Structure 1
Amino acid sequence: MTTIRAKIAQRALAPGERLPSIRKLSATLEVSPSTVVEAYDRLAAEGVIRPRPGSGFYVTGSSTPFALIAAEPNLDRAIDPLWVSRQSLDIGAGAFKPGCGWLSAEWMPLDAIRRAMRSLSRCDSAVLADYGPTHGYPPLRQLLARQFAAEGLAVGADQILLTSSGTQAIDLLCRFLLQPGDTVLLDDPCYFNFQALLRAHRVKVVGVPMSATGPDLDRFVEAVKTRKPRMYITNSAIHNPTGATLSPQVAHQILVAAAEHGVTIVEDDIYADFEPDPSARLALLDGLSRVIRIGSFSKTLSAGLRCGYIVARRDWIEGLLDLLVATSFGGPNPVAAALVATVLQDGSYRKHLGDVRRRLARRRTDVAGQLAGLGIVPWLMPRGGFNLWCKLPGHRDGGAIAMAALRDNVVLAPGNVFSVSQSSPDFMRVNVTQMTDPHCFKVLARVLAEPN
């Protein structure tokens, strides 16, 4: 294969030219015919050569194989709720991403994932080749139902709908429950992709300021009464980005106000496994009457395994099933769901989570100490998780800091991408697992030393 590539690159083989036959090339190179067949098949799959049945293989019109353009920071993109996602996903492999929203690879249970992959190679052929059932892979739904029952949330597996991600879960719920022009309440600040997704659904977004124990109750009740929202989306466990924890008292008042004014609550439980012990849960207190629980496994298992879920009333699940079939012809990839189920049942996974929680507690303290040396102070020290919501010194603008750091291949998460009201310009969310390299602190120190 290398020989053929070299000849094409050197123009010794021109576009449209016929390649030597398999038998002739194997004799010339003194390799087996099967080796030549494999090389030709690979080059054909890449589009470098093209087979013509009964005639042989020919060089394609492109004289050199296609090459991917190296990813570079997009310095021209305006900072909006999609900015951090686009920069984190598209920047090159050698970049630093303390602004991204997932654990770095060394924090993930990679050995358990590899064992699960080997196990899946021996699974039923239907899992590998067929579409899955509309609700999603049954063993994973049954496993989740048992986990929820252990919390006190009694649900049947038929009340759990698997999705391709937590984001798809919210998208389906917006399609099911909202119309363009409806109003949705969000915490302010909140996970930036909530805003981006709601914008795509053409709804009005109202922010409610966050406190250390949940949304500001007076402002929440006022917004529910005056703005008539159809939906409220929040994180209960380890709020993103603030790290706040919902108190039982605030949870009770939220549910009372929502019930009185007909508000549906979507509770994103994606960070629950990072808690040292469970905090108040709206879905548990409500019994899934007006609360819908969603989640995924991208934070604790793998960001590459795209699998999420919705837990809701049976009548709502039935309506969501039709939407899921219409938009994606069923649930998530059965292979991904089976892989998640296999890992979750691995006896090492629970131990892994315990180790991660302990490591994160130390890492949050260490990173907070190093940031303090730069005048960057956490708004609060969260009970768990990997994010610190930090105030910048001297009322520095987080957007300007992020743009300056991007030139040194460091992706930061400026405060206003999280803020509905754009009231967090001098804040920044820091992922402590992505701050292991001294380069990140050096870049922060340099850009903070620059004049406003």
Structure 2
Amino acid sequence: MLEETPRSRTRAVIGEIERRIASRSLVTGARLPSVRVFAKTMGVSPSTVVEAYERLAAQGVIRSRPGSGFYVAQTAAPLAIAEIGPRLDRAVDPLWISRQALEERADLLKPGCGWLPSDWMPEAALQRALKALSRQAGAALTDYDSPKGLPALRQWLSRRMMDRGIPAGPDGIVLVDSGTQAIDLICRFLLEPGDTVLVDDPCYFNFHALLRAHRARVVGVPMTPEGPDTDAFARIVAAEKPRLYITTAGMHNPTGAVMAPVTAHRLIRLAADAGMSVIEDDIFGDLENRHQPRLAAIDGLQRVIAIGSFSKTLSAAARSGYVALRADWVDPLVDLKIATGFSASRLSAELVLSVLSDGSYRRHAEQLRVRLGRAMDETIRRVRALGLEPWIEPEAGLFLWCRLPEGVEAAGLARACLAENIVLAPGDAFSPSGAARQFLRFNVAQSADDRIWQVLERLLAGP
């Protein structure tokens, strides 16, 4: 509610115009609402709007055209995602963590990153596939991909998803460059600025950054070892009327939790009752020791959109992801894909298909699961030796979510470790509510170097 003083009412009108300009709702040259219309919108008198417009004109933000109205004169500054919403400390901001982890420096250790070391990836299989592709003539090396993406790869994905109970035919699958691009396209398709989107709390930190770019309102649902807290989910859905829910299938990022079947079924019922859509990111599915229930299988791709990629298990350089969704949403999504990226990479799709088809990927995934199991056991041993406690002991996967000793905040520890060329992933980067200050996410595949644990031991011991 607006304050009662005339000065505060004028400030409120000025603030609303500035917000619309900053958010690109009003672009350079756009006509502002008429004085009478905006006075009604803001619940103030026309004289208050006139005074606000005159002040903005005096500052050069807008300009008056006699007989026509007021127009935006100021060119807005370039969009900076980090500035959308509350300013976060760059030392723990999700985008900052990603930027540091992507740096190519031999001396940089990355237990906080979200991918496997390069020597864990199937280099020999990729080299064979690249050599075979290099001998092909024509389309595979030079042409754009078809609108939905390489048919043979979509057929392979369809067979795998059908085996897992997800009714996705080849024509219901759209190939994209990555899981991130998949979410971006879906958000463009489903969301308007200001829509409420639910995420897990904690959740993969790039969900936050991407949703800020779409100017969505992000609300977190507390996580339990069996998945999202469904009682809290029901209360939040009733209060917030969300448009979308984004979650990680199978092994949750960052906690490593596995969604219990009863939790999955209740979430689908709640989503259906609320008329909301769900994005289920299955990027880590091939690292499971045993297959877990998928929301997309329970729902039958009615409200759930299944996405994934091969960046984490095959190659981050060969950008290849996919979206499986209901039939009447396929063509609009393909149109958005063409409008924003024109075509996915045919070369990447051909490369991925070659490795998937010759049996080497299946063997590679089996070896990864064994290797990750050993790394998980060793990382659990080492964190406990330092007084950290795993939130759960994950069944499989990359991630171990750990609580720090009492009185130690993850952000401060991360800053200190960065000075020693160690990139950590502090908990608040994953938590919309800021409720994970005492947590760190460890990537067990990136945590073998003794220097990580020596530095942590020294810093935790204090001065």
TM bracket, shorter-chain basis: 0.7 to 0.9
Contact 2:122 2:314 in 1 (8 A): yes
Contact 2:91 2:415 in 1 (8 A): no
- 1:247 — aligned with what? 260
- 2:285 — aligned with what? 272
1:391 aligns with 2:399: no
The aligned length equals 375
Per-residue deviation, 1:91: 5.3
Q: Kindly provide the amino acid, as one letter, of the partner of residue 359 in structure 1.
A: R
1:115 aligns with 2:123: no
Q: How does 1:373-392 map to 2 (within 5 A)?
A: 373-392=385-404
1:151 aligns with 2:133: no
Q: Kindly provide the amino acid, as one letter, of the partner of residue 168 in structure 1.
A: Q
Per-residue deviation, 1:396: 0.8
- 1:342 — aligned with what? 354
Alpha-carbon distance in structure 1 between the residues aligned to 2:298 and 2:353: 27
- 2:113 — aligned with what? 100
Q: Kindly provide the amino acid, as one letter, of the partner of residue 448 in structure 1.
A: L
Alpha-carbon distance in structure 2 between the residues aligned to 1:228 and 1:183: 7
Q: What is the root-mean-square deviation in Å for CA atoms of aligned residues?
A: 1.1
Alpha-carbon distance in structure 2 between the residues aligned to 1:372 and 1:175: 43
Alpha-carbon distance in structure 2 between the residues aligned to 1:390 and 1:159: 39
**Any stretches of 5+ residues in structure 1 without a counterpart?**
1-75
Q: What is the DSSP-based 3-state SS (H/G/I as helix, E as strand, rest coil) of the residue aligned with 1:190?
A: coil
TM norm structure 1: 0.81
- 1:133 — aligned with what? 146
Q: Kindly provide the amino acid, as one letter, of the partner of residue 150 in structure 1.
A: D
Contact 1:402 1:413 in 2 (8 A): yes
Contact 1:112 1:346 in 2 (8 A): no
1:27-54, CA deviations, whole angstroms, 9 ceiling, x for partnerless residues? xxxxxxxxxxxxxxxxxxxxxxxxxxxx
Q: Kindly provide the amino acid, as one letter, of the partner of residue 174 in structure 1.
A: C
How many percent of aligned residue pairs carry the same amino acid?
A: 52
**Pairing partner for 1:417 from 421, 429, 434:** 429
Alpha-carbon distance in structure 1 between the residues aligned to 2:314 and 2:106: 20
**Pairing partner for 1:194 from 199, 207, 226:** 207
Contact 2:167 2:301 in 1 (8 A): no
- 1:165 — aligned with what? 178
Alpha-carbon distance in structure 1 between the residues aligned to 2:103 and 2:374: 30
- 1:220 — aligned with what? 233
Per-residue deviation, 1:148: 0.9
TM norm structure 2: 0.80
Per-residue deviation, 1:437: 1.1
Per-residue deviation, 1:90: 2.4
**Pairing partner for 2:334 from 310, 315, 321:** 321
Q: Kindly provide the amino acid, as one letter, of the partner of residue 156 in structure 1.
A: G
1:132-178, CA deviations, whole angstroms, 9 ceiling, x for partnerless residues? 11111111111101111111223221111011110000000000000
Q: What is the DSSP-based 3-state SS (H/G/I as helix, E as strand, rest coil) of the residue aligned with 2:431?
A: coil
Alpha-carbon distance in structure 1 between the residues aligned to 2:461 and 2:277: 46
**Pairing partner for 1:427 from 439, 447, 450:** 439
Alpha-carbon distance in structure 2 between the residues aligned to 1:378 and 1:209: 17
Alpha-carbon distance in structure 2 between the residues aligned to 1:213 and 1:387: 16
Q: What is the DSSP-based 3-state SS (H/G/I as helix, E as strand, rest coil) of the residue aligned with 1:375?
A: coil
**Any stretches of 5+ residues in structure 2 without a counterpart?**
1-88
Q: What is the DSSP-based 3-state SS (H/G/I as helix, E as strand, rest coil) of the residue aligned with 2:293?
A: coil
- 2:84 — aligned with what? none
